[in-house]
Structures are given as C-alpha cells and as structure tokens.
Amino acid sequence: MNSLRRHMKQLSLIMVILMSFATTFSVSAHAGMVGTGELIQQQQTDLDRQQLLDMLEDQNVQDKLAQMGVSEAQVAERIQNLTPAELADFEQQLAEAPAGEGVVGVIVLFLLVFIITDMLCATNLFSFINCIR
Amino acid sequence: MLDQALLDHVPFYPQEKYQCGPASLATMLNTQGLATDPEILKELVYLPGRQGSLQVEMVAGARSHDMVVYPLRPNLEAVLGEVTAGNPVLIMQNLRFNWWPQWHFAVVVGYDSEEEVLILNTDTRRHYRMPYKVFHATWNRADRWAVVILPPDSLPATAETLPYLRAAHDLESTGHTRAAQQAYQAAEQQWPDQPAPIMAQGNLAYDQGNAEGAASHFLRAVNRFPDFSEAWNNLAYALSARSCPEQASKAMACAANLNPERFGQAPELPKGTTGGSRSSCPPIPDCPADTTER
C-alpha cells in the first residue's frame, strides 16, 4: 500500500504538469485563425467526451455506480471537466482494453481519476483519501 | 464480411537480407499504381546501422509519394475490413520477445475466416497462410500497428472523419499540399455533415496566400453550418485579408456572439494587403445569433 501511495504521488505530479499545459494551450489559442490541427484536436476531445457520457447510459454502469455510492450526475460532471490530455489517456486505455471488458474498465479508470483529483483536492468524493495540500 | 478474400493483384517483392521494410513499402505503393521498387525505396527507409526500417520512415516514405497513410484501429476486424474492400494492409510484427525484439513488416493480402488464417506477403513467401493466433501474438508485441496507404482521392474502408483528417493534415504539414487538398476534398464528400473538412480546405488556401479561395471555403462552411463559430472566425480573417473589412467585422461579431468565451475578445483583424475593390466582396449570410436574440 505504501509503494502504491508513492507511485500515486508521482502520477499526480505528472497529471498536474499535464493539466497546466492544457490550460496554457487553451489560453494562447484564442487569437487568430483556428488552425486545422487545433480544430481536429478539439473535435476529437468533444467526441471522446461524448462517447464517455454515452457509456453512462448503460444500465450495467449505472448499477455499478449505485453500488459504489457515486451518483451518475457526479460522474457526468467530472467527465465534462476532464482535460483533453485526460480524455486522450482514457481513449488510449479503452482502445487497449479487451472487448467485453469495456464497461468495467471505464469504471476502474474513473475511480483512478477520481482518486487522483481527490488527492489534488480538486474533488472530494472519497473520504479515505488524504488531500495532499 | 466475406468468409475469405485474396487480393491477387497485389505485387510481391521477396525481401533481401533484413529488408522487409523496402519490400513491403514497394508492395503497398505499387498496388496503388506507382512504379517504384525495393532498391529505390531502400535509400528512403532502410537504416544499414540498424539492419532495418523504422515505422516513422515507412510512413514518411509513403507520404513522400503523395500517399495518405491511414492508421487502422488496433483490431483484427479493421484489418479484415480493409482487405475485403480491396486494400492491402501494412502491418508490423515482433517475431521474437518484448525484451529481445525482432521487428518485421509484412503485408496482409487476404484471409480465410473459416480456417482462421491471414494471408501475408512476408519475407520471401508469397501468400503465406498465418494462423490468427500466431498473427495476434506477433502483432500484439508490435502494439498492433497497421496502416493502409492510399492515394488522396480514395478513402479507406474503415476511415473515420477525424483520424482521416489527421492523416491528411500530416500530408499538409510535410509539404504535400496538393495531395492534402485532394484528401480534404474527398473527406468533404464522404462526410457532408462535418464542418472540419471544409475548414481544412479554407485554412490550406489561407496559408498559401489564397485569401479569395479561403473566403469561399469558409463561406461554404458558414452556409452549411451556421452555428459553427470557428467557421465565422476564420471567415473574418480570410475576408480581412481580401480587404473586405466591413464583411470581416460582421463575421467576427458573429463568431463572438456564437461563442463569446472563445472569440469574445478578438484582437484587431489584420488589414489586407491587396487593395481589392469593395464591390467584389462577397455578401455574407445572416448570423444565427442575431436572429435568435431579436
């Protein structure tokens, strides 16, 4: 458990860096033409987000969430707030997940993100996690 | 999907020592009607020091022939789907172990789903029948890398809008603008409900200093997708470059209205350099944001 916690710290540091990058980019992107690369990236993010939201409609997912005491609305809001980097990461892992494990896989991935953001004090879903700040 | 398929028209080049890269790239390119051969491609993609070729060089080698390199989804269905549609698939395999890899390129030219075999042109064997199991093991260890290589006017059977546009944009950013333009055009025809292919054509024209062409692409975009604020924004820049300041600021205002968060504080538009007469400025359609507010 200790070693897991140590890894979590490193992981969260990486996430912080990634998130701050994402913020920097989206601010500097305002002025000027919307380039093709930027547009593709942005639409891909929207698409990935929508795909994740669609998965929440699945009855199995809703049952599982209810079991774990997390509301669908909480998860949906969390999805809305995912950065492009986080979304891309999800997509990558989803694509690599063996067929049929998709639904359970999504839940596990979400838990991971919730735990990390809880540690960063961005959310407060799990009481067992100590906020690192 | 068919039970079996074999693309007999795909040429075969038995590889010489270690040179699966040039041989399979020649297979892919010549299937599309080019007339190259492994000896020529060797210069492009073979690294003598590593006794092999790298993925990036294979991709770059195909692009330098004005081809679109489309990466497939990492599953067998995508590979079979392309073969069924008549497109050979270039795949990478690791024939040994993760910790001691032996990379290999081969071309999938057929399959037989009853016998569960893929038919490959690989190393010195033509139409080699490889069981799915063996293929999966070796393909998995190479991150299931698979691409089709097609001329920009024909789309892969499994193509999806955004990955295809990304492949076309890679052509554009490596200087193959004509091929990229063709690919964007093909994408617009294939996916008429998507604004991105039109936007890409407009941006390409704008980057080449063709403000008039750019404006007409962006106008088409706002006509078909009036709520797409990015199109209004880019239209504003293209019109401004065409010396149509009046229409440009109208378009810019529309972008800001539709998406105040993103385009609300637009910087001053650059002034156009060509002193075109105002009368040649195209009329722009009404902004949807104006009509809903009133």
Return averaged pLDDT per consecutive 10 residues of chain B, 294 residues in all: 90 86 94 93 81 84 96 94 97 90 93 96 94 95 94 96 96 96 98 97 96 96 96 96 93 94 77 57 89 49
CB-CB: which of A34, A43, A96 is closest to B233? A34
| Cα angle, residue B138 at apex, residues B136 and B141 outer, rounded to 5° | 100
- The predicted structure's pLDDT at residue A12: 67
In a domain, A90, yes or no: yes
Residues of B in contact with A44 (CB under 8 A): 162
Q: Is A32 on the interface with B (CB under 8 A)?
A: yes
Give a yes or no: residue A24 inside a domain: no
Residue A33 inside a domain? The answer is no
**What is this structure's pTM?**
0.81
Q: pLDDT band at A132, cuts 50/70/90?
A: low
The two tokens of residue A81 are 């707030």
Q: Which residue has the tokens 């299931």?
A: B144
- Smallest Cβ–Cβ distance between A40 and the set B75, B162, B234 belongs to B162
CA B199-B201-B203 angle, 5° bins: 70
**Residue A61 lies inside a defined structural domain of this protein:** yes
User: A with B: how many residue pairs have Cβ under 8 Å apart?
Assistant: 45
Q: Determine, yes or no, domain membership for A105.
A: yes
Instruction: Report if residue A5 sits inside a domain.
Output: no
Of A33, A43, A47, the CB nearest to B234: A33
User: Which segments of chain A does DSSP mark as H helices, in order?
Assistant: 2-28, 36-55, 59-68, 72-80, 84-96, 102-119
Q: What is the phi/psi pair of residue B109, to 5°?
A: -120, 0
Q: Select from A32, A39, A95 the Cβ nearest to the Cβ of B74.
A: A95
Q: What is the pLDDT of residue B266?
A: 63
Rounded average pLDDT over A28-51: 83
In terms of CA atoms, which chain A residue is nearest residue B267?
A31
The 8-class DSSP code of residue B271 comes to P
- For A61-110, write each residue's pLDDT tens digit: 777 777 767 777 777 877 787 778 777 777 776 666 555 555 556 666 66
Identify the contact set of chain B against chain A, taking CB-CB distances under 8 A: 73-75, 162, 165-166, 169, 172-173, 196, 199-200, 203-204, 206, 230, 233-234, 237, 262-263, 265-267
Instruction: Classify B150 as helix, strand or coil.
Output: strand
List the domain range (segments joined by +) for residue A64: 57-133
Per-residue model confidence (pLDDT) at position A24: 47
Retrieve residue B241's tokens.
């470059």
**DSSP for residue A122:** S
pLDDT of residue B44: 85
**A81 domain residue, yes or no:** yes
Overall number of domains in chain A:
1
CA distance B203 to chain A (A): 7
Domain membership of residue A9 (yes or no) is no
> CA-CA distance, B84 to B1, in Å (whole number)?
7
